[in-house]
Structure 1
Amino acid sequence: MPLGTASPEAVFDALDLAVRRRLPGRLHGDKRGLRLGPGSDPEEVVRYRPGEDDVRRIDWNVTARSGEAHVWRPVAEHELEAWVLVDDTASMAFGTVHLEKRQVADGVTAAVALLTQGPGNRLGTAHLAADGLTWAQPLPSRAAAHRALRRHRATAAVGSGGSVDVGLARAVRTFATRHPRPGVRVVVTDFVEPDGRMERPFAWETPLRRLAAVHETLVVEVVDPRELELPDVGAVTLEDPETGRRREIFTSDRRLRARYAAATAAHRAATADAVRAARAGHVLLRTDRDWVRDLARFVNGRPMRRVTA
Structure 2
Amino acid sequence: MSPPLDAQTTARADAVLSRLQLLVTRKLDGLLQGDYVGLLPGPGTEAGESREYRPGDDVRRMDWPVTARTTLPHVRQTVADRELETWLAVDLSASLDFGTAQHLKRDLVVAATTALAHLTVRGGNRIGAVVGTGSMLRRLPARPGKKEAQGLVRAIARTQVMPGRSDLGALVDMLNRPPRRRGVAVVISDFLAPTEQWERPVRKLGVRHDVLAIEVVDPRELELPDVGVLTLVDPESGALHEVQTSDPKLRRRYAEAAGVQRAAIAQALRGAGAAHLRLRTDSDWLLDMVRFVAAQRHARTRGTTR
> Structures share a fold, TM > 0.5?
yes
1:176 pairs with 2:181: no
Residues 79-119 of structure 1 show CA distances to partners (whole Å, capped at 9, x for unaligned) of 22111111011001111111111111111111111111222
1:28: Cα distance to partner? 5.1
1:32: Cα distance to partner? 8.5
2:100 alignment partner, one of 93, 96, 102: 96
Contact 2:85 2:184 in 1 (8 A): yes
Q: Distance in 2 between matches of 1:93 and 1:208?
A: 24
Contact 1:4 1:152 in 2 (8 A): no
Q: Distance in 1 between matches of 2:200 and 2:141?
A: 26
Contact 1:26 1:115 in 2 (8 A): no
TM-score, normalised with respect to structure 2: 0.74
- For the aligned residue pairs, the C-alpha RMSD in angstroms reads 3.1
**Pair member with larger Rg:** 1
Distance 1:257 1:139, change over 3 A: same
Q: Distance in 2 between matches of 1:21 and 1:34?
A: 24
Query: Residue 119 of structure 1 corresponds to which residue in structure 2?
Result: 123
Residues 150-178 of structure 1 show CA distances to partners (whole Å, capped at 9, x for unaligned) of 3586363232x35xxx5111221222223
Distance 1:114 1:141, change over 3 A: farther
Q: Distance in 2 between matches of 1:290 and 1:232?
A: 25
Aligned residues: 259
1:131: Cα distance to partner? 2.1
Residues 25-84 of structure 1 show CA distances to partners (whole Å, capped at 9, x for unaligned) of 652599986489xxxx99xxxxxxxxxxxxxxxxxxxxxxxxxxxxxxxx9966221111
Q: Distance in 1 between matches of 2:224 and 2:255?
A: 7
Aligned pairs (5 A) from 1:246-265: 246-265=240-259
1:223 pairs with 2:217: yes
**Is the partner of 1:176 in helix, strand or coil?**
coil
1:250: Cα distance to partner? 0.5
Contact 1:84 1:188 in 2 (8 A): yes
Q: Distance in 2 between matches of 1:251 and 1:204?
A: 32
Moved over 4 A (4+): 3-7, 21-26, 28-33, 75-78, 304-307
1:306: Cα distance to partner? 9.9
1:5: Cα distance to partner? 9.5
Percent identity reads 38
Query: Residue 110 of structure 1 corresponds to which residue in structure 2?
Result: 114
Query: Residue 8 of structure 2 corresponds to which residue in structure 1?
Result: none
Contact 2:126 2:142 in 1 (8 A): yes
1:242: Cα distance to partner? 1.9
Distance 1:120 1:32, change over 3 A: farther
Q: Which runs of 5+ in 1 are unaligned?
A: 43-74
Q: Which runs of 5+ in 2 are unaligned?
A: 1-11, 50-78
Q: Distance in 1 between matches of 2:235 and 2:304?
A: 39
Aligned residue identity for 1:27: G
Contact 2:128 2:152 in 1 (8 A): no
Contact 2:96 2:106 in 1 (8 A): yes
Contact 1:220 1:282 in 2 (8 A): yes
TM-score, normalised with respect to structure 1: 0.74
Query: Residue 160 of structure 2 corresponds to which residue in structure 1?
Result: 156
Contact 2:210 2:274 in 1 (8 A): yes
Contact 2:20 2:114 in 1 (8 A): no
1:12: Cα distance to partner? 0.8
Q: Distance in 2 between matches of 1:226 and 1:21?
A: 35
Query: Residue 204 of structure 1 corresponds to which residue in structure 2?
Result: 198
1:129 alignment partner, one of 109, 130, 133: 133
1:290: Cα distance to partner? 0.6
- My pick for the range that moved more, 262-271 or 138-147, is 138-147
Query: Residue 139 of structure 1 corresponds to which residue in structure 2?
Result: 143
Aligned residue identity for 1:169: G
Contact 2:84 2:125 in 1 (8 A): yes
Aligned residue identity for 1:18: K
Query: Residue 213 of structure 1 corresponds to which residue in structure 2?
Result: 207
